[in-house]
Structure 1
Amino acid sequence: MIKFFEETKDKKQYMDLLLIGDEQEDMILKYLSRGRLFVMENDDNVIAVCVVTDEGNGTLEIKNIAVSPVFRRSGCGKRMISFIENEFAGSFRRLTVGTGDSPLTVPFYEHCGFIRSGVIKNFFIDNYDHPIIEAGVKLCDMICFEKELPDKYGTVSEGFAEI
Structure 2
Amino acid sequence: MEIKIINENKKQFIDLLLLADEQESMIDRYLERGELFALYDNDLKSICVVTEESPDTCELKSIATYEKWQNMGYAGRLIQYISSYYKDKYRTMLVGTGDVPSTLRFYENNGFTLSHRIPDFFTDNYDHLIFEEGVQLVDMVYLKKEL
1:90 to 2:88 alignment: yes
Larger gyration radius, structure 1 or structure 2: 1
RMSD of aligned residue pairs (Cα, Å)? 0.7
| Per-residue Cα deviation, 1:81-121 (whole angstroms, up to 9, x for no partner) | 00100111111100100000012311111111101010100
Identity across the alignment (%): 44
Runs of at least 4 residues of structure 1 off by over 2 A? none
1:23 to 2:22 alignment: yes
1:68 to 2:66 alignment: yes
Is this contact kept in 2: 1:8–1:36, CA < 8 A? yes
Q: Distance in 1 between matches of 2:102 and 2:17?
A: 17
Partner residue in 1 for 2:51: 53
TM-score (norm 2): 0.98
TM-score (norm 1): 0.88
Is this contact kept in 2: 1:100–1:141, CA < 8 A? yes
Q: Distance in 2 between matches of 1:28 and 1:104?
A: 23
Partner of 1:104, secondary structure, is: helix
Q: Distance in 2 between matches of 1:78 and 1:133?
A: 23
Partner residue in 2 for 1:4: 3
Is this contact kept in 2: 1:103–1:135, CA < 8 A? no
Is this contact kept in 2: 1:131–1:138, CA < 8 A? yes
| Per-residue Cα deviation, 1:112-154 (whole angstroms, up to 9, x for no partner) | 11010101000000000000100000000010000100xxxxx
1:13 to 2:15 alignment: no
Report the CA distance between 1:57 and its aligned residue.
Answer: 3.1
Which amino acid letter does the alignment assign opposite residue 81 of structure 2?
A: F
Is this contact kept in 2: 1:97–1:144, CA < 8 A? yes
1:130 to 2:128 alignment: yes
Report the CA distance between 1:64 and its aligned residue.
Answer: 0.4
| Per-residue Cα deviation, 1:22-69 (whole angstroms, up to 9, x for no partner) | 0000000110010110000122x1110000000113101001000111
Q: Distance in 2 between matches of 1:103 and 1:148?
A: 22
Q: Distance in 2 between matches of 1:104 and 1:124?
A: 18
